[in-house]
Structure 1
Amino acid sequence: MKYVMGTREWDSIVEALSGRGHQRVEDLADADFLVFNGVPGDFPESLPDNIRFVQLCLAGIDAFFDAGLIDDTRRWANASGVYGRPVAESAVALLLSALHMHVHVARERTFDSAPDVHEGTGWLFGATVAVIGAGGIGHDLIPMLTGFGCEVIAVNNSGRPVEGAAETVTAEHTDDVLRRADHVILAAPLTEATRGMINSRTLGLMKDTAVLINVGRGPLVVTDDLVTALEEGQIRAAGLDVTDPEPLPDDHPLWGMDNVVITPHTANTFRSMQRLMPDAVLANLDALEAGERMPTEVDPDRGY
């Protein structure tokens, strides 16, 4: 088949597709599918009818839905689960950094901070960690957490048992999970049901020793409510790779907090995306040509 690559050229994908006999062209009118690794603002104004399939290279595609770009006139796929391993590793890194007070020590820049660390350090081993949105990221995250001696509660929509988790529950039991968990990792997609799921009420359910990690989508958390909870000691700390708003303004209160670790939406980097995406594109094309559902096919009705 023929395809267009936009907006950045990723040699890894071009080489993988060429190896399967797919031909790159420049004009959408000549193509059968589009591989798109940009943002909604760069997306073509319209797609010709000959485009059967669009491969988006992001896992979180709520912005494409918000822009009205995704419909049922053709098939779409995202990168759900493709970047699970690097994002999972980043989630663990944020959690460990928050528990071990790295931001506090870095700002103090002295061994005189040792008494604070002796008093305030938390440990991951023996902890119960909730993974909310235990899909592709959870698949890679849970073995990492259990390797640290954690017990994991997985939360998903179906309630279907997640391998490695001590327990799997449906999203309707989230409140109970927040009460029980020592730490909480958000890895859920952004939908109407999940937007603002962490707010003043749900933060109030969590233990005051809990760390909240968000590697899902920024608007899963009501930011002002999180600031208040951290200031008032309702929870111990937070680790954020995604924020709302994003980018987080340089003068935002979260930047100044010793108990907050922030990375600039880099839990997965462009380098790892280029390394991991080709196999996913090929798997989707194999399924498409076989008349099957693609491994990362998007359901327009569900929003992910």
Structure 2
Amino acid sequence: MATTNPKGTRASAYRVAVTADVVRPDGSSVHGDLGFDRLVERGIDWSVLPGDAPVLPPEYFDDVDAVLVMGHTYFDAETVDRTPRLRHIARFGAGYETIDLDACTRAGVVVTNTPTAIRRTLSTAAVTMILGLTHHVVPKDRMVRESRWSDREHFRGVGLEGRTLGIVGFGSVGADVARLMQNFDMTILGTNRSGKSAAADELGVSLVSFEELLERSDVVLLTAALTPETTGMIDEAALARMKRSAFLVNVGRGKLVDTDALRDALLDGRIAGAGLDVFDPEPLTPNDPILGLDNVLLSPHALGWTDQFTDAVSTAALDAIIAIADGGRPDSVLNPEVFETEAWRAKVASD
């Protein structure tokens, strides 16, 4: 470990590494205060990893018990099989597509995430995208700044009352969006892998097939997790099923969408517009034609970054780290079967 705890405490029996993608060596973060003092108060040492890359050398974790993953660092068998001390990967956020759960389980590594903590901030980000896009907020703002008031007749907004919102990946975030958007008197459809949802039943949301959702929706919202099955799910064929008057909003993962197919659909007027907080590639290249379109609302994978987001997610992630360090079992364990493995028992026995 190349960096040291800025509090100056000696190395403790339990050590936590933090990935360096959005955290500086002193622990300050683009998200704000992450609350690392909580670890120090519990006698847990922490430090920020010296390098930032999608795949980090296994030796970075030779003397580490846990790693707080701030971005999308990969942890596959090649890494976790060569880190005999590592016992916990705590994901800051909900997505875990870069973490091989099966490999972690075999290696005796618990994986946790923070899905509940991101629910409201992501759902309000989705609502912001929907409202900003359908009301043409950005081009109208630009008109005023550039004294082009006469152009406003070309940007009449789209009312939502009686329109249909389709939520792809109807889980906790999707349910929260549905709860908020029902105030706009929209019909709400959802789709998910199981075809079942107690929240959908409670809210009166109809779960339908992916194809039916695309065909009926005036706004298609993506909140699905990224899996091999959902990668590229919004492709040319999916876009062709959507109404020409429909909008696509993605606050899930960039790779849910085939960017080339979306670009073509937007340029050809085959859908009305798009709101994107996530991209593939990320960031977009500076000359991408999407950047010049008035019917696209863009955010740099940060629309949900609020003070409440930071507080909720960091609290949940550190709660999980402290629980494992204390010999407990935190909420939101993605591979609970790990606790029954010999690899896990061996790591615990080494304390």
Scaled to the shorter chain, the TM-score interval is 0.7 to 0.9
Match of 1:48 among 83, 86, 95: 83
Q: Secondary structure of the residue that 1:152 maps to in structure 2?
A: strand
Structure 2 CA distance for partners of 1:230 and 1:162, relative to 1, 3 Å: farther
Q: What residue number does 2:129 align with?
A: 94
Q: Give the CA deviation at 1:97.
A: 1.3
Where structure 2 has 5 or more consecutive residues not aligned to the other structure, the ranges are 1-12, 48-59, 338-351
Structure 2 CA distance for partners of 1:79 and 1:69, relative to 1, 3 Å: farther
Q: What residue number does 1:231 align with?
A: 267
Q: Give the CA deviation at 1:198.
A: 0.7
Q: Give the CA deviation at 1:159.
A: 2.2
Q: Which moved more, 1:22-31 or 1:49-58?
A: 22-31
Please say which structure displays the higher CA radius of gyration: 2
Q: Give the CA deviation at 1:30.
A: 5.7
Match of 1:126 among 162, 166, 173: 162
Q: What residue number does 1:145 align with?
A: 181
CA distance in structure 2 between the aligned counterparts of 1:152 and 1:30, rounded to whole angstroms: 50
CA distance in structure 2 between the aligned counterparts of 1:161 and 1:42, rounded to whole angstroms: 31
Q: Give the CA deviation at 1:197.
A: 0.7
Q: What residue number does 1:167 align with?
A: 205
How big is each residue's C-alpha offset from its partner over 1:30-63, in whole Å with a ceiling of 9 and x where there is no partner? 6543323244279996663233211021322324
Structure 2 CA distance for partners of 1:102 and 1:70, relative to 1, 3 Å: farther
**Mapping of 1:149-298 within 5 angstroms?**
149-163=185-199, 165-169=203-207, 173-269=209-305, 271-281=307-317, 284=320, 294-297=331-334
Q: Secondary structure of the residue that 2:294 maps to in structure 1?
A: coil
Q: What residue number does 1:116 align with?
A: 154
CA distance in structure 1 between the aligned counterparts of 2:149 and 2:44, rounded to whole angstroms: 60
RMSD over aligned Cα, in angstroms? 3.3
How big is each residue's C-alpha offset from its partner over 1:228-274, in whole Å with a ceiling of 9 and x where there is no partner? 22222221110000111110111101111111111111122275543
- Report if aligned partners of 1:214, 1:242 keep a CA contact under 8 Å in 2: yes
Q: What residue number does 1:14 align with?
A: 36
Query: How many residues are paired up?
Result: 294
Q: Give the CA deviation at 1:298.
A: 5.2
CA distance in structure 1 between the aligned counterparts of 2:224 and 2:115, rounded to whole angstroms: 11
Q: Secondary structure of the residue that 1:55 maps to in structure 2?
A: strand
Q: Secondary structure of the residue that 2:115 maps to in structure 1?
A: coil
Query: Which letter maps to 1:79?
Result: T
Structure 2 CA distance for partners of 1:95 and 1:298, relative to 1, 3 Å: farther
Residue 58 of structure 2 is aligned to residue 37 of structure 1: no
Identity among equivalent pairs (%): 28
Q: Secondary structure of the residue that 1:247 maps to in structure 2?
A: coil
* TM-score between both structures, scaled by the size of structure 2: 0.72
Structure 2 CA distance for partners of 1:268 and 1:209, relative to 1, 3 Å: same
Q: Secondary structure of the residue that 1:40 maps to in structure 2?
A: coil
Q: Secondary structure of the residue that 1:89 maps to in structure 2?
A: helix
Q: Give the CA deviation at 1:25.
A: 4.7
